[in-house]
């Protein structure tokens, strides 16, 4: 989530593979996340055992600890509503004869 154009809260899944040194500084330069040593540690380990969650520039243990991200995940995971259907008229489409020439 962004505040005044700068990211302050983020969810990074453990499925991300990386082994970047100073990943926080590299990926989040000029944000409050750049100074989180926990974020650097997250990026340094190629195989991650936990997700990384930061809320208002502080690492938290659960996404439920971050109202901004929790609201966002609720919006994303809501069941989609059925889209309206549009009937397709096929009565005026030509049919193909075995010869490949459309009938009239």
Does this model's pTM top 0.85? My answer is no
3-class SS of residue 70: helix
pLDDT at 19: 80
Can you name the residues that pair with 10 across neighbouring β-strands? Answer: 54
Say yes or no to pLDDT of 5 above 80: no
State mean pLDDT over 61-82. 69
CA distance linking residue 88 with residue 31, whole number of Å: 51
Residue whose token pair is 């990026």? 43
- Round the average pLDDT of the chain to a whole number and report it: 75
Say yes or no to pLDDT of 13 above 90: yes
CA distance linking residue 76 with residue 65, whole number of Å: 18
pLDDT tens digits for range 73-94: 555 555 555 555 555 554 555 5
pLDDT at 27: 87
């Amino acid at each position: 989530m962004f505040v005044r154009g700068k990211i302050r809260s983020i969810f990074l899944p453990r499925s991300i593979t990386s082994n970047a040194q100073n990943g926080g500084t590299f990926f989040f330069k000029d944000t409050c996340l750049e100074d989180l040593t926990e974020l650097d540690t997250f990026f340094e380990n190629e195989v991650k055992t936990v997700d990384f969650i930061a809320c208002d520039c502080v690492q938290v243990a659960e996404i439920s600890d971050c109202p901004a991200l929790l609201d966002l995940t609720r919006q994303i995971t809501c069941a989609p509503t059925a889209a309206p259907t549009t009937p397709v008229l096929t009565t005026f489409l030509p049919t193909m004869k075995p010869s490949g020439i459309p009938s009239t």
